[in-house]
Amino acid sequence: MTKSELIDAVNAALGGRYTKKDTGAAVQAVFDVVADGIRKGGRIAYPDFGTFTVKERAAREGRNPRTKETLTIAASKSVGFKAAPKLKEGL
């Protein structure tokens, strides 16, 4: 589903009471708040949907497959998502 398709689906779910521009702004606001919450608190939980968390990966040794040279891969952070049981059941 693309961003445009998501906005259309949300607009349809709301009965078309709002303009697509307003619906798009609301959808973008939700994603902005979720991203900000993950940055600040490291965790966002929404019942019956799932939980977003920050996952930290430690620095580790890697190898360049072409030259076989050993190198250090820097520590990093990424976002993880764990689906709620109700969402999993619906798949």
Q: What is the mean pLDDT of each run of 10 residues along the chain (91 residues)?
A: 95 94 96 93 91 94 94 94 94 88
All structural domains of the chain with their residue ranges: 1-41, 43-91
Nearest to 50 by CA among 79, 78, 81: 81
- β-strand partners of 76: 57
The CATH code of domain 43-91 reads: 4.10.520.10
The one-letter code for the residue type at 24 is G
CA distance 51 to 69: 38
- Give the predicted TM-score (pTM) of the model: 0.74
- Length of the chain in residues, anyone? 91
